[in-house]
Amino acid sequence: MYDDAQPAQAPAKTHVHQAIAQAVRDHGIDRLFGLMGDANLFIADHFARACGGRFIPAAHEGSSVLMALAWAHVTGRVGVATITHGPALTNCVTALTEGVRGQIPMVLMAGDTPVSNPRHLQGINQREVVAATGAGFEQLRSPDTVARDVARAMYRAQVERRPVVLNMPADFMWQEARYERHVLSVFETRSYVPEGDALDQALGMVASARRPVILAGSGASGARAQILRLAERLEAPVATTLKAKGLFRGHPYDMDIFGTLSTPAAYDVIAKSDCILCFGAGLHDFTTDRGKLTEGKRLVQVDTDPRAIGRSVHPDAALVADAGLTADNFVHWLDEAEIPASGFTPELDPQTLRAHAPAPKGAVAEGCIKYVPALERLEQALPQDRILVSDGGRFMTEVWCRISAPGPRSFVNTANFGSIGLGMPEAIGAAIAAPDRPVVLFSGDGGFMMGGLTEFNTAVRLKQDLIVILCNDSAYGAEHIQFLDRQMDPALTEFDWPCFADVATSLGGRGVLVRSEADLQKALAAIEVRDRPLLIELRLDPHDVPRMRM
């Protein structure tokens, strides 16, 4: 539990809104995202004025949840947001679902309409709204249970690894309550490697493999050193799921992302392998290419969550165990049995493992720049210590493949629910989590109009070091390609947007429009001298943006 803060002792009697703010602060939370309304404004005020916390106001309720999700991902702690009731909560449905699908621990303190007024204009069954998203629901039961109810929501968010909504009736806020600090410890005992047949079976498959490959997911992000030690002992190349992007960055036999996002050379290596050893990876359909990449080879799965094992592809052997401890244990027994290395990596060319296909040939429409070469230039010019955030859209898979991130906590993927328009709020949350590092957001034109435009000025207001690369093909790209595939007119998917670079400047940032190589050079130079949120608008030909690699 994050119990590092030592705030001043609250009085024995206090108001409920003060008790809620103090209870949040007692859990070591010093950042609160939100949008104020009737049911929560005094909580936010007391948190900032009396508890020494910082309140970060969003322009939209869903954005506050997304900011808290990104903050939680980057820091590894519980994010907390607050909103008022009714339409404020319904505005958070997509964001809450995104957090549930991403298994991100956060608490949303949502006001509820007064119990005494069942016909309130903004009244709605908030428990049922939350249930539809898959998030947890915790009711603030009475003025005297505030500290315990907040603690319970914080505890559940951590152990259930999902958002939990704390439902707070508005008519409690000015009632008096007795307050006593209450924090629940989270018992994070590491799973041990099991003994017996399961271990013997898994070890036998790994030891007998002649072309082994190691795959790590976000569940193994804390075991980099141990997994690489095992990989070198086996002479096995390594790869990650999308969510663990960057985990093995710098290793000579790092193949980057495993599956439909693999390079041609990496895909060929995976196809030729005879054993895949997975640590903390859920084996999504895109990771396995709908099972194609696991056919005809032995699959060993290691995960601390038994529900993750066999969820998509059923393994040949499995261990419910800690990734790092298991990797160390494998090395120990391989050495004890004097099992020789596989000899697989000496057969491979490290230079080709991470090399993606070149840009599609052909000219682009006048006033547009070729997409893939622009990404390759940006990969070199963007700050290397960046946090990479990706919005959703057709453009995104090329970004995932061609733009690097320093590690899993430095990569924020907002496509867990398949939505667009979530990137800007999450970029803001990431920047709050790591104020000394630049944040780079890649967004499409449709996603930016849906969610980015709303919050760009928030980044300006917060004086954030944010670089937005806006991939503007003036179309909803995924839909555009479907019309073309059926030889139909795609006009309904195309839009005549305003100049986003001009809009960014008018909102207090700086915008640079890129329609040529000379413009791109100016944009790259602007990255070096940025002093406010910078938006680089790439004008793209919708026929030049590659299909999603799904």
* Structure-block tokens of residue 132: 């539809």
Asked whether 423 and 454 are in contact (CB, 8 A), the reply is no
Average pLDDT, integer, range 517-521: 97
What is the enclosing helix (H) or strand (E) of 531?
none
- On average, the pLDDT of the chain sits at 93
| pLDDT tens digit sequence for 341-390 | 999 999 999 989 999 988 888 899 999 999 999 999 999 999 999 999 99
3 state SS for 115-137: CCCCCCCCCCCHHHHHHHHCCEE
Provide the phi-psi class of 235: left if phi over 0, else alpha when psi is between -120 and 50, else beta.
left
How far from chain centre, in Å, is Cα 429?
11
3-state secondary structure at position 51? coil
* Structure-block tokens of residue 156: 């559940």
Neighbours of 196 (CB within 10 A): 7
| pLDDT tens digit sequence for 185-242 | 998 766 676 778 889 999 999 999 999 999 999 999 999 999 999 999 999 999 999 9
Cα 394 from Cα 71, distance rounded (Å): 25
pLDDT, residue 1, reads: 42
3-state secondary structure at position 47? helix
Confidence of residue 7 (pLDDT cuts 50, 70, 90): low
Going by C-beta distance under 8 Å and a sequence separation of 6 or more, which residues neighbour residue 528? none
Report angle CA 442, 445, 451 to the nearest 5 degrees.
80
Percent of the chain exceeding pLDDT 90 equals: 82
Report angle CA 408, 209, 287 to the nearest 5 degrees.
35
Confidence of residue 67 (pLDDT cuts 50, 70, 90): very high
Read off the pTM: 0.94
3-state secondary structure at position 257? strand
Closest by alpha carbon to 420, among 457, 471, 369, 496?
Answer: 471
pLDDT, residue 322, reads: 92
Asked whether 7 and 26 are in contact (CB, 8 A), the reply is yes
Closest by alpha carbon to 485, among 446, 539, 543?
Answer: 543
Average pLDDT, integer, range 37-42: 95
| pLDDT tens digit sequence for 70-124 | 999 999 999 999 999 999 999 999 999 999 999 999 999 999 998 888 888 888 9
* Maximum CA extent, the chain: 75
Cα 434 from Cα 496, distance rounded (Å): 36
3 state SS for 144-173: HHHHHHHHHHHHHHHHHCCEEEEEEEHHHC
Q: Residue 142, class by beta-carbon neighbours within 10 Å (0-12 exposed, 13-18 middle, 19+ buried)?
A: middle
Q: Taking 70 as the threshold, does the pLDDT of residue 11 lie above it?
A: no
- Which residues on neighbouring strands pair with residue 15, listed in sequence order? 176
Cα 467 from Cα 170, distance rounded (Å): 39
Cα dist. 482→15, 177, 420, 493 in Å?
57, 59, 18, 10
| CA end-to-end span of the chain | 38
Closest by alpha carbon to 289, among 274, 268, 308?
Answer: 268
3-state secondary structure at position 538? strand
